[in-house]
Amino acid sequence: YLACADCDDDNDAVHPGAAEVCDGVLDNDCDGTDDSQELDNDSDGYTGCDGDCDDTEAQVNPDGTEVCDTLDNDCNSVVDDSCLTCTRYVPTDAATIQAAIDLSAAAGEVICVEPGTYDERINYNSHDVLVLAVGGRAATTIDGGRLGTVVTSAGTETIAAILEGFTVTGGSNAGIRVVDSSLTVRRSIITGCEQSGLFLQTCATCQVILEDVDILSNTSTSRGGGISGDFVDGSFQMTGGTIANN
């Protein structure tokens, strides 16, 4: 193909009539239209080429968690298999994550957070609830706005207080702070926080579990940027995940 017809004459895989394939090129066939499989149309961090089975719905992607909503949230080709029942949705049933936590009346409730950025700081306030980002961490962020700790557990919480599937950022007194209490964090990223990504404070009886949590690019002037604290007793477990560039 001559350059006048070929939209990228330096790439043999790009020319009129070429098949659209997942190769990082938006327009293999030079028809002037971007390949929809290469686009992240719902801004959930995944394209069709990445395995997003519904790129019009941010709550559906390979990092999603299956909830009972008639969608294939985790893209395993099975709808509502072993799904979690949401007690309430944010912001549909409660305007903020904190409001949803405060409404919790029983341990084990599931707060399902829809994709988006939530400019707030949350405290479990002794509620053993699962705060779940249905669309996963690329689609759902809690941003503390440099106004203090983003996520706090400082009461009578047990490891049944769970944060799952979020990007936690914008903390000025740690991203997540556990004060002689307990917390489980799963499939999340703690990044861009000051005074540690995770701070364990006065932990005489703390139980902290991290599962597939990345702690990246946090800073501190007085203690460790990644994980720090005064751990007197209790237990700390981390499986999977990465601690880097703190």
Residue 4: the pLDDT is 58
| Alpha carbon distance 172, 180 (integer Å) | 20
- Say how far apart CA 57 and CA 183 lie, in whole Å: 30
Q: Which two tokens stand for residue 147?
A: 């106004």
CA separation, residue 89 to residues 33, 63, 142 (Å): 37, 18, 15
Q: What is the overall mean pLDDT for the chain?
A: 92
Q: In sequence order, what are the residues at sequence separation of 6 or more whose Cβ sits closer than 8 angstroms to the Cβ of residue 130?
A: 84, 108, 109, 110, 111, 160, 162, 164
98, 122 contact by CB (below 8 A): yes
Percent of the chain with pLDDT over 90: 76
pLDDT at 3: 57
Q: Which residues of the chain fall below pLDDT 50?
A: none
At 1 the pLDDT is 60
- The sign one gets for the Cα dihedral 120, 116, 175, 132 is positive
Question: Within 10 Å of residue 242's Cβ, how many Cβ atoms?
Answer: 12
In the three-class reduction of DSSP (H, G, I as helix; E, B as strand; rest coil), residue 50 is classed as: helix
**DSSP assignment of 168-218, as one string?**
EE--SS-SEEEESSEEEEES-EEES-BS-SEEEEEESSEEEEEES-EEES-
Q: In whole angstroms, what is the distance from residue 215 CA to residue 168 CA? A: 10
Determine the Cα–Cα distance for residues 222 and 233; give it in Å rounded to an integer. Answer: 22
> Under 8 Å CB-to-CB from 23, ≥6 apart: which residues?
13
